[in-house]
A and B are shown apart, each in its own frame.
Chain A
Amino acid sequence: MTLNTTTLSIHHRWRAALRIEQHLRLRRRQSAPEFLADLGWDRLLDAATRLRHAYRRGWMTACRQVFPTLVRASSLVRHQLERYEQAVEAFLRPTAAVSVPEIYADLLALEQEFDRVQLNLRERVLTVETGPITLEGYSLGPFTIRLAWERIGDSHPYEIAAVTPNPAASDSSVVHPHVRDRTLCEGEGQSAIREALLGGRLYEFCLLVRQILETYNEDNAYVSLDHWSGESCVDCGDVVAGNPECPRCQSTVCWDCASSCDICHETCCSECRERCPECEALVCSGCISDCDDCGASRCSGCLSEGKCAECVPEPEPEDLPDEVPLEETAPSTTPALAAHAAVHADRVGQAPVPA
């Protein structure tokens, strides 16, 4: 039986609190805190490497762009280390079991804090619904936090679902930058969520999850909001937003894949351009056509009146006389040779030789 906020009674809340306390008492065990799986060290090293790389090349603008990422990464590492220390301290410190009245008070407080609270006693599930969540202008709608209380102590005892899904264009399983396949990547909230669940503090657990959903971490998202509602590039498949449209086929093409025609300089996708076999220019489909005679593809620069170079007819020879009289061709009569004779006489230095 599922009961929503309007019908939850003292009796139902009390029954749920009893069952939750019973489960926690049975499952309550001391386990050594695991070393943090994701310290964030790799991100810090990556940012530091990029900063060093940019600095060595004198790229100060790039340095300034990387610096905020470095600060966030180092802050995360510092935070995680502090939490690990606290986890070890808590492990060594005896903890009190949560009481039924405390759990009851949590369920009552949840009804005041959240828009909707449901208790399914048969399935042992508590569901709360957040208000609408908007991150950087993207309306993601409300989310439900569905806790199977008999799985507290297991990995993933709860799941997140979008009430009115607005998933990422590139991955429908991502309904929130930090939720994939109904699983929230808790990030900074991991330790606190774990402690809240093991301690039976359902009110704090739901608050923590809601605050993670209301926070956008642009450096570590399954899909960033910049790419949330974009379209896939027809060439490489990357999801892009605000990118050009190929004027030939109207497909979205990213700036990396777009190329301009060598003749008309129009930007188009790879499907709509080809290389001219004659001159090897990369041209769009509007600047390449077939020779009227042989049908060979040529760019407009290689076609002359619709014909390729091989099919263009040779020019007609000009009209010239068949023979020219010898005397007319004598060197002394030609203007060039006459000019030559004025400088140098023919047969200079010749004298009759007696027989």
Chain B
Amino acid sequence: MQILVINNDGGGFASHIDIPDGTTVQQLFERQVKHRRAEDYLIRVNRQPCASDQVLQPGDRISITPTKIEGAA
């Protein structure tokens, strides 16, 4: 099935990707953001907070945003 992923930990690009049916939010996160902890991110499915074991549906919109983003001067 196809979903939209917005990875704000990278360049903030939105990409449609194909994932297996039954993929959970946690599984998608581990695939998109390697070697990081989910609790360090705001993960939204269709702009709503979600559980890590929530099963994704076709057409879902998932955004992954770091909780800590360093500004500068």
Residues of A that sit less than 8 Å from B by CB: 38, 76, 82-83, 86-87, 89-90, 95, 105-106, 109, 112-113, 177-180, 184-189, 191-196, 199, 201, 203-204, 207-208, 211-215, 217, 220-222
Contact = CB atoms under 8 A, between A and B. Distances in A.
A187 B12 contact: no
A215 B70 contact: yes
Contacts of B66: 211
20 contacts: A90-B11, A90-B13, A179-B71, A185-B72, A185-B73, A186-B71, A187-B69, A189-B69, A192-B12, A192-B69, A193-B12, A195-B11, A196-B8, A199-B14, A207-B8, A211-B69, A215-B67, A215-B69, A217-B72, A220-B71
Interface of B: 6, 8-14, 42, 44, 46-48, 63, 65-73
A119 to B, nearest CB: 17
Instruction: Determine chain B's interface SS by DSSP, over half rule.
Output: loop
Contacts of A177: 71, 73
B32 to A, nearest CB: 13
Nearest to B9: A192
Contacts of B67: 211, 214-215
Contacts of B8: 189, 192, 196, 204, 207-208
A195 B12 contact: yes
What are the 4 tightest A-B residue pairs by CB atom distance, in nearest-first order? A192-B12, A178-B71, A86-B11, A187-B72
B73 A109 contact: no
Contact of B71 (A196, A203, A217): A217
A59 B11 CA distance: 39
B12 A178 contact: no
Nearest to B46: A105
Nearest to B42: A207
Nearest to A211: B69
A203 B66 CA distance: 14
Contacts of B9: 192
A185 B12 contact: no
Given A207-B8, A207-B63, A201 B14 contact: yes
